[in-house]
Amino acid sequence: MVKEIQLRVNLFEEKQTDILKRKASKQLDVSTSEISGIKVLRKSIDARKKQIIFNYKVAVYINEPLPNKPDYTFEYQDVSSAKEIHIIGFGPAGMYAALRCIELGYKPIVLERGKNVQDRRRDLRAINQHHEVNEDSNYCFGEGGAGTYSDGKLYTRSLKRGDVRRIFENLVYHGATDQILIDAHPHIGTNKLPKIIQNIRETILKFGGEIHFETRVVDFTIKNNKLKAILLQNGTEMAVNSVILATGHSSRDVYELLHRKNILLKAKSFAMGVRVEHPQQIIDQIQYSCSGERDELLPAAAYSLVHQVGNRGVYSFCMCPGGFIVPAATANGEVVVNGMSPSRRNNKFANSGIVVEINVDQDLPKYEQFGVLKGLQFQKDLEKLAFNAGGKTQVAPAQRLTDFVEGKLSSTLNETSYQPGLNSSPMHSILPKLIGSRLRKGFASFGKKMHGYYTSEANIIGVESRTSSPVNIPRKENLEHPQIQGLFPCGEGGGYAGGIISAAMDGERCAEAAINLL
C-alpha cells in the first residue's frame, strides 16, 4: 500500500533522524515497522512566522518496497542517417529540441554562434578582468545559453505548457542532483551546470546529431514564402527542411535580420531596472526572524517582492541568494548586469533584479520611428547610458539604495560581488523617469514589507535590461511562423519562454511541430 500525505516538521525536529517515518506512522496510525520506506515528493520552507516549518509531501510505502526504477526513461536512437532538422541556438530550447528530435528518430543539426562551455570561460574572464566583450561568446551566448553561467534557477510557472517533471528528470539523467525533483524552488548552480550541459552535448553527438560551435547564421534564403537555406558567417550555405529558431532574448542581429527581410515581427512588452545587492545576512535576518547567523539547516534566504506604481508593476526578478552580480553585455559600448548563484549559495551577498514593467504600446512614444524594434532600441540606449556612466568600461554605475531613493549622489559605495567594479553615479537622474521614479517608490514600499530591506548597506547597480525579449516572433497554432514555411520561432528569443524550464519545454514542442510538418 502507498499513501501520499503532508507532513510538517519544525526546525528542531528536522535535526532528528527518522522524523518523517515517526510522523507518518502517527498520522497513518501504523507502526514504524510497517513502513518500508518514504519517498519525498516535495519539500518547502515556511518562514512566515517565527517558528520555521519544513513542509513535506511524501509517499509512504506500507508493507511494500520502494520502487527502484526512475519514473521516466529516455530512449535515444541512432539518427546519423535520419532526416535533418536544423536548430539555431544551443541554449535550453535548442538543447531540448535536439534531444527530442533524437527520441523521435530525426537528426538535429545545431548551429551555435558561441563556444563550448570550456572555451567560453576564457571569454567570461576577459569581460570580468579586462572589460573586453566577445560578441559571440559571453554570459548570454555560447553552449547552454544565458543560463549556463548565470545561475540555473529551475522554477517555472509554465505548468500547462508541457511536462515539467520530464524536463527535470532529463536533467537528473544528465547528471543533476535528484534534489531538484523535490525542492519547491529547485536550483542547480552555475558551478554545476557546465558539466550537465556537456553531458547533454555528448548524448546528442553519441546518437548521431551534429553540433557546430562558433557558427553564426547571418541570412535566410526564402522562396515562395518557404525557408530553403541558411547562410553562415563563413559564407557556407546550408539547405534546410525545417529550422527551429532558438537564439535567445539577446540575439539582436537576428531580429534586425528578420526586420530587414520584412518577416513579420511584433513589439513586445518587457521589463528593465537595476540589480540591488544586500549582505546575505541582512536578508537571512529579515526572512528567518533571527538576530545572528541563520541555522546551518536553512538555505540562504530568498525573497519575492512586487508593487504597483502608476499602473506598472515593480517587482523582483531572478533573485540570487548567496550569489554574484555578473556583466552580461553582448557588445562593447554597453553595460548590462545579471545575477547568479553557485550550487551552495554561500557567497556573502544576495542580489536581485528590481525591474519596472514597460508597456511598448504606451511607454515609448519617442521610439515609434523604430517600429517593432522600438523596445530593442530603448534597451540599447539605456545600456549605452550605463556604459557612459560607469566610465566607458564594464565598470557599472551604482548608488547606495537609500541615496537613490532620496535623490543624492553616494560619496562611497558598499563592497560588491561585481568583479569589474562600480562607479558612484546619480542613478536617480540617469535612469529614464518611467523607470527611475517607479523604482524609487517601489523600493520605499519594499522597505515597509521587509523591515531592514531599505538600508544604506545595499547598492543598486545598473542596468538590468535583459529580463526578456522586447520582440515577439509570431507563430501559428502549429508553432510555424505565419508567413515563412519551415521556420519555427522558439523559446525566449521568440517570446515564448521565461527561463530554463519553460524554454526547454518549448524546445520539445517545437521539435515535435517541425517533425509533424515534414
Question: Are the C-beta atoms of residues 42 and 57 closer than 8 Å to each other?
Answer: yes
- Kindly state the average pLDDT of the residues 419-438: 97
- The pLDDT, as a whole number, for residue 189 is 86
Tell me the mean pLDDT in the region 337-355. 95
pLDDT tens for 208-263 read 999 999 999 999 999 999 999 999 999 999 999 999 999 999 999 999 999 999 99
| pLDDT computed for residue 154 by the predictor | 84
Q: Using pLDDT thresholds of 50, 70 and 90, give the confidence band for residue 158.
A: low
Average pLDDT, integer, range 62-79: 92
Q: List all residues 6 or more positions away from 451 whose beta carbon is below 8 Å from its beta carbon.
A: 286
Peptide bond into 372 cis (omega under 30): no
Flag whether pLDDT at 150 surpasses 70. no
| 192: CB partners within 8 A, 6+ apart | 152, 176, 177, 343
Task: Give the pLDDT mean for 36-61.
Answer: 95
155 or 138: which leads in pLDDT: 138
Three cell numbers, residue 18: 527518522
- Answer yes or no: is pLDDT of 124 > 70: yes
On average, the pLDDT of the chain sits at 96
For range 318-347, the mean pLDDT: 95
Structural domains in the chain plus CATH codes: 2-62 (3.30.70.2700), 84-266+469-516 (3.50.50.60), 269-464 (no CATH)
**Residue 161: pLDDT over 90:** no
Q: What is the pLDDT of residue 152?
A: 63
pLDDT at 149 over 90: no
User: Residue 124, SS3?
Assistant: helix
| pLDDT(159) > 70 | no
Whole-number pLDDT of residue 48: 86
Q: Which residue has the cell 544565458?
A: 146
Measured at the alpha carbon of residue 399, what is the angle toward residues 397 and 404, in degrees to the nearest 5?
125
* pLDDT tens per residue across span 356-410: 999 999 999 999 999 999 999 999 999 999 999 999 999 999 999 999 999 999 9
Q: In 3-state terms, the chain is what percent helix, strand and coil (to 5)?
A: 30, 25, 40
Q: How far is CA 301 from CA 214, 287, 320, 350, 447, in A?
A: 39, 6, 9, 8, 17
